[in-house]
Amino acid sequence: MNIEKLQQTAQGMAAPGRGILAMDESTPTCSKRFEKLGIPCTAEHRRSYRDMLVTTPGLGKYISGAILFDETLRQSTLSGTPFAVHLQQQGIIPGIKVDAGAKALAGHGDEKVTEGLDGLRERLAEYAAMGARFAKWRSVITIGAGMPSPACSMANAHGLARYAALCQEADMVPIVEPEVLIDGDHTIERCFEVTRDVQQMVFAQLTEQGVMMSGIILKPSMVIPGKDCVQQATIEQVAEQTVRCLQETVPADVPGIAFLSGGQSDEEATAHLNAMNRLGKKLPWAVTFSYGRALQAAAMETWGGKAENVERAQKVVSHRARMNGAAASGEYAPDMEQQAA
Ligand code: 13P
């Protein structure tokens, strides 16, 4: 384990005013999103879509790292440069999703456990040789009656810690992603309790497995009411509760916290991140984004699978990246959205 290299990568990922582009949708997830827009689900369409994203002019100004899917790491831009090389050239650190997805947890109804530890050491070595410098593993926690069960929280925390230790052994920074889902009618208070408990368990397991905190990035969900909860929260409430939760659970030597968007609208995700960075608290970690949908949804729609839309779609990517870059510094204002339009 090369401590210096890990810390350098993690600090690069958490660079001020920049964040991470999560473009690591698995083929089934990508197909679902393409299908809704009438885009053919072929390997070449996935390649050209990702090509559009990464060749957005000036992307590296606001994007510090990009998470790729296995297929994408093996593909190249239209001009024949492997995506990982092209990203490096833009000052963007390439990373790779390495989990094998969330599968039903035996004996636990609708709860899930993330798989993918078998053979992970060998896969990490291959990915590192292809240029990936960090990895991502996502666990999902559902809030509901009797959920999360201790068994589900523990199995997922343990998996995240085993994965993180393997990444660091391979000199790759693990993005540790315990996602508490926004689905359901739970209150913000309940989301706070569950997120706090899950994060505490994750850090206990990371410690147990000997993971070096200065060489990870935490990718949490925000503390937010369920999307069917009758009592929704203000932007400030979400920001305050989320930061309070992090302060109770995240060690100070973790360099960066990069949120997932988890089904929030583009502008909500940006506004929440901005509000956290404007609370005026001196936080020990960088607080930024690692958005998938909230960075890509509008651009994918604009692109629509057609080469003639690439330039327009790239303007949309560029705009969202700039808005989120501003939010990562607490310098976003909603009227910046209109200025661009
Ligand atoms: P969303 O921002 O769309 O939630 O995706 C982030 C991600 O990487 C999920 O694993």
Burial class (CB in 10 A: 0-12, 13-18, 19+), 61: middle
Q: Which of 219, 308, 331, 337 is catalytic?
A: 219
What token pair was written down for 296? 């890509």
- Give yes or no: 331 in active site: no
With a pLDDT cut of 90, the percent of the chain lying above it is 98
- 280 pLDDT band (50/70/90 cuts)? confident
CA of 100 to the centre of ligand 1 (A): 15
pLDDT digits (tens, 9 = 90+) for 322-339: 999 999 999 999 999 987
pLDDT value at residue 62: 98
- Give yes or no: 71 in active site: no
Q: Which of 25, 111, 177, 179 is catalytic?
A: 177
- 340 pLDDT band (50/70/90 cuts)? low
CA of 25 to the centre of ligand 1 (A): 8
Ligand 1: residue of 33, 257, 261, 288 to mutate (most ligand atoms within 8 A of CB) is: 261
pLDDT digits (tens, 9 = 90+) for 138-163: 999 999 999 999 999 999 999 999 99
Give the position, in ligand 1's atom list, of the atom nearest the Cα of 261.
2
Angstrom CA distances, 107 to 135, 149, 183, stand at 30, 11, 21
pLDDT value at residue 281: 87
Domains, the chain, ranges and CATH? 3-340 (3.20.20.70)
Confidence check: pLDDT of 341 > 60: no
pLDDT value at residue 339: 72
DSSP assignment of 227-288? TT-SS---HHHHHHHHHHHHHHHS-TT--EEEE--TT--HHHHHHHHHHHHTS----SSEEE
* Dist. CA 47–CA 53, nearest whole Å: 10
| Residues contacting residue 11 through CB under 8 Å, at least 6 positions apart | 255, 256
CA of 126 to the centre of ligand 1 (A): 24
Ligand 1: residue of 72, 163, 260, 272 to mutate (most ligand atoms within 8 A of CB) is: 260
Confidence check: pLDDT of 177 > 70: yes
pLDDT digits (tens, 9 = 90+) for 186-225: 999 999 999 999 999 999 999 999 999 999 999 999 999 9
pLDDT value at residue 175: 99
With a pLDDT cut of 70, the percent of the chain lying above it is 99
pLDDT digits (tens, 9 = 90+) for 281-295: 899 999 999 999 999
CA of 291 to the centre of ligand 1 (A): 5
pLDDT digits (tens, 9 = 90+) for 55-75: 999 999 999 999 999 999 999
pLDDT digits (tens, 9 = 90+) for 237-256: 999 999 999 999 999 999 99
Ligand 1 site, CB within 6 A: 22, 138, 177, 260-262, 291-294
pLDDT digits (tens, 9 = 90+) for 77-134: 999 999 999 999 999 999 999 999 999 999 999 999 999 999 999 999 999 999 999 9
pLDDT value at residue 332: 98
**Section 24-46 average pLDDT:** 97
Mean model confidence pLDDT for the chain: 97
Closest C-alpha to 186, from 243, 152, 146, 231: 231
